[in-house]
Amino acid sequence: MKHTRIKDLLNTTEYGHRVTVKGWVKTFRNNQFIAINDGSTLGNLQAVIDFDQTDEMLLKRLTTGAAIAVTGPLVESLGKGQRVEIKVESLEILGDSDPERFPLQPKKHSLEFLREIAHLRFRTNTFNAVFKVRNALSFAVHQFFYERGFVYMHTPIITGSDAEGAGEMFKVTTLDFDNTPRKEDGSVNYKEDFFGKPTNLTVSGQLEGELAAMALGNIYTFGPTFRAENSNTTRHLAEFWMIEPEMAFYDLEDNMDLAEELLKYIIRFALDHCPDEIEFLKNRLLEEEKSKPQNERSEMDLVAKLHFCLDHEFERLTYSEAIEILRRSKPNQKKQFKYPIEDWGADLQSEHERYLVEKHFKKPVVLTDYPAAIKAFYMRQNEPDEQGRRTVRAMDILFPGIGEMVGGSQREERLSRLQQRMEEMDIPAKELDWYLDTRRFGTAPHAGFGLGFERLVQFVTGMGNIRDVIPFPRTPNNAEF
Ligand code: 4AD
Ligand code: MG
């Protein structure tokens, strides 16, 4: 007999017909009531067993975590908490779960503990909800771009370039470290390496994306990217997924409009398509916050926060305006910032971003026109202002509780200006000659941005640690599983 998904059964209003359900035992109480979950929904199906008629050995094997199949009529439930239940006529144990060794107790486990048992982590309600939302968000990204005629471009994972020029790359090599081929001057001879040259895991698909945009018009990438930055924070992963649209003939305004539209579209999609999961995560967060002091609890619950974000326009201002606000802010005057804001040109720390977003504007903020010195080489250069300050057409979108969600810019399309900037920043022009070609043959204004997918999943699920929104987190000193 074909089995039916529990999600479909819990919504049914028809009773009496026989069904088969396959899933894992969540709990078994009073030798009578089995709560079964098959992953299709957060809800469990109750199966009622007649223990007088059931072999005692079989009853003993109904332990938490065991995989089972049950068949019987679906009946209206008299118990509290569920509409339907299944009256078990036949029961089969598909896979035992040794109660002596099963690591999950029927109680709340810390997220840290669950990270260590990758397999059973997926069986918890929290991670069921998180990964369902992650799935929906990823689908929403593709739908958004498909509806708008963008081409999904698969840029390479292994590259020979450093797209951000920040030197935070993982090397890719087949050379033997214990017997490395060397040139006469003692340096590594990469000619003998797999690709005949040094290669690394990509930090961004942007540069390759720009090539495609300068031919196809509007493209986006959505894939894993890798950063060997030694940041042990709740916002950084060594392997994360990034969405990078790139649009020919877009300026910075167009770029910001698209980013805001995309973010709102995805958040709306999650509210429309994952109401049960988001409701569950909202309550999880409320529960978690109970242990925090009053002043650290959020003013809005998760659902209110998501709606608030949809209902308000993001605040747009320049870096220079932001610096003025920060300079005059209470925490700066009272020397409460760890990094006090004194001069124009300082890179913003997360305490500054949080102040702007959570205290000052209380909504997502888009900062533009950053100092050239703290941004990547490919960003379009503004003319120096009256005080001779050099800025670039960058934009970062900052979100409450997250900080930087999006980083993007209008690109420097003028070949000589780009080359000059690369020289200033020690970016090897020879290796990027293929990229500079886009500025040689029909260069045009264009723009794009990168959206950190896990940070978006964090915002929508309310999870505090980025490690808890990706199935297998990779961070410094951790590449388990
Ligand atoms: O600001 P970033 O470094 O920008 C780029 O990579 C550009 N090439 C994007 C573009 O214009 N096409 O990274 C973009 C976003 C950040 O805003 C952040 O959300 C996320 O990627 N991000 C990370 N997420 C998790 N872990 C990390 N280590 C991240 N580094 C960046
Ligand atoms: Mg950035």
Give the start-to-end residue ranges of the domains of the chain.
Answer: 6-107, 123-168+203-468
- Nearest protein CA to atom 27 of ligand 1, as residue: 236
CA–CA separation, 323 and 344 (whole Å): 7
Tell me the residue ranges of DSSP E strands in 67-141: 67-76, 84-87, 90-95
- Residue 245 CA, ligand 1 centroid: distance in Å: 12
pLDDT digits (tens, 9 = 90+) for 372-383: 999 999 999 999
CA–CA separation, 329 and 109 (whole Å): 40
pLDDT attached to residue 297: 83
- Comparing CA positions, the residue from 156, 130, 155, 285 lying closest to residue 213 is 155
List the beta bridge partners of residue 449.
Answer: 408
Pocket test for ligand 1, best of 263, 348, 455 (most atoms within 8 A of CB): 455
pLDDT attached to residue 1: 74
Measure CA 268 to chain center.
16
User: Which residues in 102-138 are b (16+ Cβ under 10 Å) and which e?
Assistant: eebeeeeeebeebbeeeebbebbbbbbbbbbbbebbb
CATH superfamily of 123-168+203-468: Bira Bifunctional Protein; Domain 2 (3.30.930.10)
pLDDT attached to residue 12: 87
Say yes or no: CB of residue 72 within 6 Å of ligand 1.
Answer: no
Pocket test for ligand 1, best of 159, 202, 240, 392 (most atoms within 8 A of CB): 240
pLDDT digits (tens, 9 = 90+) for 251-301: 999 999 999 999 999 999 999 999 999 999 999 999 999 988 888 888 899
pTM of the full structure: 0.96
DSSP line for 4-35: --HHHHHT----S-EEEEEEEEEEEETTTEEE
pLDDT attached to residue 167: 85
Taking CA atoms, 123 is separated from 23, 39, 61, 237, 281, in Å, by: 11, 7, 19, 23, 15
- The answer to whether the CB of 303 falls within 8 A of the CB of 461 is no
CA–CA separation, 337 and 327 (whole Å): 11
Q: Which atom of ligand 1 is nearest to the CA of 203?
A: 6
Q: Residue ranges of the chain with pLDDT lower than 70?
A: none
Fold of 6-107: OB fold (Dihydrolipoamide Acetyltransferase, E2P) (2.40.50)
Smallest-distance ligand from the CA of 404: 1
Q: Which atom of ligand 1 is nearest to the CA of 466?
A: 25
Say yes or no: CB of residue 206 within 6 Å of ligand 1.
Answer: yes
Q: Which atom of ligand 1 is nearest to the CA of 209?
A: 12
pLDDT attached to residue 79: 82
Q: Residue 445 is encoded by which pair of tokens? A: 């204004």
Taking CA atoms, 24 is separated from 34, 95, 123, in Å, by: 10, 9, 9
- Comparing CA positions, the residue from 468, 124, 402 lying closest to residue 280 is 124
CA–CA separation, 360 and 327 (whole Å): 13
Give SS3 for 443.
Answer: coil
Taking CA atoms, 367 is separated from 270, 277, 407, 459, in Å, by: 26, 32, 10, 19
Say yes or no: CB of residue 469 within 6 Å of ligand 1.
Answer: no
pLDDT digits (tens, 9 = 90+) for 102-122: 998 777 889 999 999 999 999
- Residue 404 CA, ligand 2 centroid: distance in Å: 7
pLDDT attached to residue 86: 97
- Residue 447 CA, ligand 1 centroid: distance in Å: 15
- Residue 371 CA, ligand 2 centroid: distance in Å: 13
Say yes or no: CB of residue 212 within 6 Å of ligand 1.
Answer: no
pLDDT attached to residue 221: 98
Whose tokens are 């209380």? That residue is 362
- Residue 202 CA, ligand 1 centroid: distance in Å: 12
